[in-house]
Structure 1
């Protein structure tokens, strides 16, 4: 076999249908659009139109809303942090911040901040600087001898009664 003899298998490629090339072509005259009417014209988009009847998407009630001010937080469980310490990815003496969590591979990228959750066991004394923390997480960290400081990106608290420290 030579390079100039290489070709696709029979039937592997197919030429596109060229419409509007005469009645004898099979796709001439109306070019597969039927005859007349709105949908035979170019640029028509009537998705959801039900012939004048109220369309389904307008008959159904609206539900909920998207809060444009909601923070997109990374959730981190205490058990995951403990695993990273045991694997040597996190330093025991250093403060656990968003940057430290990214470096350790616990979170892929920092979004609007980190919320610390109390799932799992924490046995190491650690100082955390996070955007939010659950009550169970704070209790578990303090039980292990550590501390949790709630820090906001802007330095201003948006939710909760925790003191912001910038």
Structure 2
């Protein structure tokens, strides 16, 4: 096979519709554009969301919400994944190496979801009140 012999699959390409080629074609005269108006003109159209000068919908509705750009530096881990990790001491670096949190994560927090049976010592990792109680009940500690 050569680069100059590559062709698209049979039937995947078809010729574009040739409009404005006489009455018999079915797309002659106005060529499917109707009569007059901005949409019928060549080069005449509008930007996305334009409503003919009326205040567009996206500007009529109030602005709501906010998503912090700092969220990408936060990560959370559950008690279940902590138990599955099966380590006595856990810090942010070990979680990154295990692939449980992203490499960009700076703040990691343990949330109470699942069970923890083994004692785990957390260093440099936060925990919710419920998760902290579960870790301490299993004989671990949060520092």
TM-score, scaled to structure 2: 0.66
Q: Does 1:14 align with 2:8?
A: no
Unaligned stretches of 5+ residues in structure 1: 86-90, 150-166
Q: Structure 1 residue 33: deviation in Å? A: 7.2
1:101 is matched with 95
Any idea what SS the aligned residue of 2:142 has?
strand
Q: What are the superposed Cα offsets for residues 122-152 of structure 1, whole Å, 9 maximum, x if unpaired?
A: 2222211244320111111122222212xxx
Q: What are the superposed Cα offsets for residues 53-108 of structure 1, whole Å, 9 maximum, x if unpaired?
A: 211111111112233455642210112111221xxxxx33xx21122123234335
Q: Does 1:46 align with 2:47?
A: yes
Greater RCO, CA 8 A, separation 6+: 2
The question of whether the paired residues in 2 share the 8 Å contact of 1:81 and 1:106 is answered with: no
User: Number of residue pairs matched?
Assistant: 134
Unaligned stretches of 5+ residues in structure 2: none
2:78 is matched with 77
**Distance in 1 between residues matched to 2:67 and 2:44, nearest whole Å:** 32
Q: Structure 1 residues 70, 8: CA separation in 2 closer, same or farther (over 3 Å shift)?
A: closer
TM-score, scaled to structure 1: 0.59
**Distance in 2 between residues matched to 1:141 and 1:83, nearest whole Å:** 14
Report the RMSD for the aligned CA atoms in angstroms.
3.6
